[in-house]
Amino acid sequence: MDLLSIDSLSDSQIATILDRSQHFFAANRAGRSTDALSGRILFNLFYENSTRTLMSFATAAHRLGASVVALPVDQSSVNKGETLGDTAHTLNAMRPDVLVIRHHDNGAADAVAAIMEAPVINAGDGTNEHPTQALLDAASLQHKLGKLGGVNIAICGDIRHSRVARSNAKLLPRLGAEVRLAGPPELMPDGAPAMTVDEAITGADVVMMLRVQRERLDSEFGDAPGEYLELYGLTAKRLANAAPGALVMHPGPINRGDEIDGAIADDAERSLITLQVEMGVATRMACLELMVGPTN
């Protein structure tokens, strides 16, 4: 099976991934690894920058006993004009057991999956989807709250460019959560219902902030120091309107003083940002086990 979109997962596959995420989270904390994927090879093919996703897929593979080969795209034949399709045919001929791809074009993971015989995982395609991020976010919330049913989650910021928001808006309601999307009108998808950040945060149990993806914008937006934070960012004043003890999430990377006040990101009581990173390894282990484990 491929993991290209939340839509491609059944309810029972989602339940298995979330359940196994908690198992691997505890095992990783105890320093236990397994050899379930011993002898298997994972290819990492990242055309866009990454710290968390790239490193956690590699760590997840190693914790399961698999080996990782990463293509340094900057030094690859991409710079000699090779197309994505030809690169996929080339990598397919090397017979990896699973390929993880991040790419700047929507649909790139689907295109590569149509060529590869091995399972393909979408680690973010343009502004489309980032399914393993949504899965690790759900697993983090389950870890912290026990369940997602009836939880109000405000996802705020650059919704227009966020594959994280798109995957979460599909996944979290399937688990019983209520999701509100909000941001500056310029950074909302066309036709999305208008809700201000303040409205979305009011009474929310969880506030998930998103970075302004300036690399995907053709013009400046809220670039003056402190301007974006003041108008749309997560400040102590805004967070005070959320439900008492509301939790704060962010997929990272954070831009301190832009979409989030640094002190809130560092607040160990409320911020799940580090938990999300730790759970990221566990959830990716769960995905790899399901897709390339011994039962496949």
> Contact residues for ligand NCD (CB under 6 A)?
52-53, 124, 130, 133, 163-164, 211, 213, 251-252
For the bound state, the minimum distance from the C-beta of residue 295 to ligand NCD, rounded and expressed in Å, comes to 28
Which long-range contacts link 81-86 to residues 24+ away (Cβ below 8 Å)?
Answer: 84/108, 84/111, 84/112, 85/111, 85/115
For the bound state, the minimum distance from the C-beta of residue 13 to ligand NCD, rounded and expressed in Å, comes to 21
Helix (H, G, I), strand (E, B) or coil at 277: helix
Asked if residue 183 lies in contact with residue 213, where contact means CB atoms within 8 angstroms, the answer is no
Torsion on CA atoms 3, 8, 116, 131, rounded to nearest 10: -30
For the bound state, the minimum distance from the C-beta of residue 89 to ligand NCD, rounded and expressed in Å, comes to 26
Helix (H, G, I), strand (E, B) or coil at 260: strand
Residue placing its CB nearer to ligand NCD in the complex, 177 or 260: 260
In whole angstroms, what is the distance from residue 134 CA to residue 13 CA? 14
| Main-chain phi, psi angles of 288, to 5 degrees | -65, -40
Residue placing its CB nearer to ligand NCD in the complex, 40 or 167: 167
